[in-house]
Amino acid sequence: MSDVLTLEQAAVGFGSRTLWDGLDLQVHSGELIAVLGANGSGKSTLLKVILGQLRLRSGSATFLGTPVRRGDRRIGYVPQQRLAEDGVPLRGRDLVALGVDGHRWGVPLPSRRRRQRVNQLLSSVGAEAYASTPVSSLSGGEQQRLRIAQALAAEPRLLLCDEPLLSLDLPHQRLVSDLVDDARRRLDLGVLFVTHDINPILDKVDRLLYIANQRFRIGTPDEVLTTEVLSDLYDAQVEVIRHNGRILVAGIPEQHHEPAGAR
């Protein structure tokens, strides 16, 4: 297994506030790592660092042997927010085509090859049926599928997903996580998957990074999602309960807003 991404002694913060420090993380090709933690613990910030949008305070972030940089098409990104507001005149296939074109704005006419590639991507996420529908009228799950197709368009080596399951119902959560899982197996992709709830992807996760209180733990779900580890991270009595193949976390302190591990 080769490393696609390496963070060494990485620290990040804003002003006098440190979000995390001393982070050592290797992401291997074909590996899916879930990123969990309280609101505001720095999960999205980690993705911004890897996307070259934010500088580390110290340490290094290396992608395929060179320092991370902005606009690297070998890193696919599925952002957190919903895709489009009403009135955005974009169809599903246009969105995927943007991923295919990348920075090559102003391509004169859609070539046959380009159209084939867009169709192939749409079909890989099962989105053919609404390829010509305005994106703004699609459901969250449908938009998320298109986002994944767009992120895979440049055949990335690393895929960053920022809460792709947010506000999706259970069947769509499963569908979207299956798509990501399928893509990483097919393309031998490394994946960082930010989520508040580990359960929809529990059977797919190789390791997880859990961030809380400016500290973190990395390991398999069995190693990290334990009463001992989370109580230590949160500096409070936190209970991890396993029931019917699901993981529930109780007792996360108030100031962390939401159950940060799994519900």
Ligand X SMILES: Nc1ncnc2c1ncn2[C@@H]1O[C@H](COP(=O)(O)OP(=O)(O)OP(=O)(O)O)[C@@H](O)[C@H]1O
Q: Which of residues 49-108 bind ligand X (CB under 6 A)?
A: none
* Cα angle, residue 209 at apex, residues 207 and 215 outer, rounded to 5°: 150
Q: How far apart are CA 54 and CA 56, in angstroms?
A: 7
Using the minimum distance from each CB to ligand X, give the nearer residue, 43 or 172: 43
207 touches ligand X by CB under 6 A: no
219 touches ligand X by CB under 6 A: no
Cα dist from 79 to 47, 113, 138, 143, 146, whole Å? 10, 27, 17, 11, 12
Q: Which of 8, 11, 40, 72 is in the footprint of ligand X by CB under 6 A?
A: 40
Read off the tokens for 235: 């500096």
124 touches ligand X by CB under 6 A: no
Read off the tokens for 198: 């580990």
Establish how many alpha carbons lie within 13 A of residue 47's alpha carbon, considering only the half-sphere containing its beta carbon.
24
**Least distance in Å: CB of 160 to ligand X?**
12
220 touches ligand X by CB under 6 A: no
Q: How far apart are CA 87 and CA 135, in angstroms?
A: 9
164 touches ligand X by CB under 6 A: no
Residue position matching structure tokens 């230590």: 232
42 touches ligand X by CB under 6 A: yes
Using the minimum distance from each CB to ligand X, give the nearer residue, 43 or 93: 43
14 touches ligand X by CB under 6 A: yes
Stretch that binds ligand X, among 32-40, 130-138, 139-147, 168-176 (CB under 6 A): 32-40
Residue position matching structure tokens 């913060």: 13
Using the minimum distance from each CB to ligand X, give the nearer residue, 42 or 92: 42
Using the minimum distance from each CB to ligand X, give the nearer residue, 48 or 174: 48
Q: Which of 23, 27, 36, 41 is in the footprint of ligand X by CB under 6 A?
A: 41
Stretch that binds ligand X, among 22-30, 39-47, 144-152, 164-172 (CB under 6 A): 39-47
Q: How far apart are CA 41 and CA 225, in angstroms?
A: 17
Stretch that binds ligand X, among 38-46, 118-126, 127-135, 167-175 (CB under 6 A): 38-46
43 touches ligand X by CB under 6 A: yes
Q: List, as own/partner pairs, every contact residues 181-184 make where C-beta atoms lie below 8 angstroms and the sequence separation is at least 24, other chains included.
A: 181/32, 183/124, 183/148, 183/152, 183/159, 184/30, 184/31, 184/32, 184/159
Please say whether the beta carbons of 61 and 54 come within 8 A.
Answer: no
Question: How many residues in the shown chain lie near ligand X by CB under 6 A?
Answer: 10
**Least distance in Å: CB of 257 to ligand X?**
8
- Residues at the interface with ligand X (CB under 6 A): 14, 19, 37, 39-45
